[in-house]
Chain A
Amino acid sequence: MLRPLYCCLLRLHPSGFRTRFADEMLSIFDHAAGRAAAFRLLLDGFLSLARQWTLRPEFWHELSSAPQTASDGIPSFYTIDPFRPRAGAVIHGLVLSAAVFCLTCFAIKYSWIRVLHVRIPEVQFDSPRSIQSNAGREASEKAPVPPHSVGKQSIAIPSASVSAVKAPRYDLPASIAAQNSFVQSPTTGTPESQVSSGTQPAVEVAGQPRRGLLRAPVKPRDSQPSPLLSRSVSHQPQAQQMKPQNATSEDSPSAKLDAAQRQRVIEGAIAKVKVHYAYPDVAQKMADALLAYMNSGDDDSVTDGEAFADVLTKQMRDVSHDAHLIVVYSRDTIPAHSAGATREILAPYQKKLEQNNCYFEKVTILPHNIGYLKLNSFPDPSICQPTAKAAMASLNHADAIIFDLRDNTGGYPGMVTLIAAYLFDHPEYLYNPRDNTTQQSWTRSPVPGNRLADKPVYVLTSASTFSGAEQFSYDLKMLRRATLVGETTRGEAHAGSWHQIDDHFGIGIPDTRPINPFSTADWEGTGVEPDVKVNAATALDTAEKLAEKKLQKK
């Protein structure tokens, strides 16, 4: 029993001493008769160990090596420990490290990340600003989030109250927006305060832009724009319609722009674009183009604010070919940031959600125990989380689940993540083209008590499936978690954030380039292709049949 201990002691000695004397010392130990002698030797071993390590640094290495000097007098290098492992040990080590490597890969692949509490670093392209804005966003998320993006057809300018709070990244159903009065600025209470810019404002406060949804006008893809499309897209005519009203009703000091004002706006726009645009080289080209136009006098004829904004927008888009860049003019002075109106804005939206059961239009179990959820929006999770949880709970025992998003016009990515969480048994990354990766990008799977993680999922889409609903469809399709049945979706993916230039001008700049883990392109302009292409009207029947077939196979 003492011999292994003595062996260990010898092994702990410095390598030079060990290689030279360990065997002999062991042979002496073997000669020792009696326990007392063995204990004495053990004690001696301890003392020797301490002595060798503390008092004999010169013998830590191989004894024979009187420092070798190279021919030119500079000491040559010699290895610290000439000990070479056996070939067998090397092979063992190789096999063991390969096994550990495979195990680690396996763990990463199956996302034991949550279990291991490994924090995935956030992907940041332009770190200082993104971090700031993320920090700002996180802070503001604690407060109830007002539904900025409601105004699909006419979105509020960054008025005091609207700008005070964080904007959601998706749009709410047009139906709410159409009836909603809260898009009007509560401070002025006038509908005229709206500029149909398609811009979702989140005003820059103290040099820190709050990120919001910028709904840049989408060019209609088909010749017959749906009512929704026409509402959401055709901001130009509305803006012009509004002009006379405003002109008569308002004293607008900057209605006529002079050269100095124009120059100030252009310089402001250039500064914002250079700082915030996701592609610095393109930003530089745009800046050059704007200056060239200004210097050549092309802008001189434009004295109307809105027209000037349009001219600048066009000049920038000509260079960048980015339809999400937009300069916006507001006849009203864009107020500085002021807090406090959050509740007022939120109240009508909240009421609306309550009246509509948070747009969970239908939750039922179809024949063959197929769960069916018709969801017409992805509403604010801070309000509708209980509803969503209840809906998913009522479908918990279904053998398959059909999400009907044919009339879904988008909403909050938080709700997309919340619902998708039920479909996975491990945290899954959901790509959102409007936002850099955050913790919210990961589903909080597994959901306790949930049984849907391995059930077949069908998503019904139509040509009006929009925005956040497209994110839901796209991510589930890319993750091969759902079968999409129906029509190609609308194709609304990108957004930018709002930056204020001066009292009347603002600019929407796409400033994020999150990495799409699935493909180089997302669904912007093209829509999400369904797996099974059928007319939207027959999508439910088709999906039911597919689900039945799948369940029968089991």
Chain B
Amino acid sequence: MRKLRNNKGFTIIEVMIALLITGIVSGAALNFYIKMHNQTLTQEEISEMQQNLRASLDEIIKALRKAGYKTGTHTAFRINGDSLYVFYQETQPIDTVLYFLADLSSAELAAYADLPTRLRPHKLMKQVNSAGPVVFSEHINNLTFTAHSSSNVEVAVSVQPSRPDVDFSENEGYRIYSASERVNIRNLIL
């Protein structure tokens, strides 16, 4: 009986105040959560871009380093715009590996229809000897090869994320990360 008498419940004012406080606190928490979530997604996107960038650059550089391996008087490499031929000897007298950027198909491009040309992604293709080209990496913004001398080549790669980040104000929300490395072609400076 005493216990029951003591259970007085809450007045409407108390409930309103409690709801208001809960609303403010959970609103702030939700806001914080959404921000954190977005940031996590962005971070993941960035780290994926960086991996993509590293993997693409490393692949090309590793191939380029062995250019001219046992090829005798044959050219060690050839740069043709954004494509690079590397010649070496492995399975046949002259093996060739070709790296080039391929445009997206028109169906794939539909997703990027509103983007200016410079922000449309490409695929990095790798073709070994007479085998068909295979996709090595995607979301490549640009790829350039610059021969600084007959035995020194600079490879520059730019990548972009798979989807835009609404909080990033430039480039329609697409971050572009670039990296370049200069390679001394060992077989040409023995």
- Is B a genuine binding partner of A? no
Q: Contact residues of B with A, CB < 8 Å?
A: none
Interface residues of A (CB under 8 A from B): none
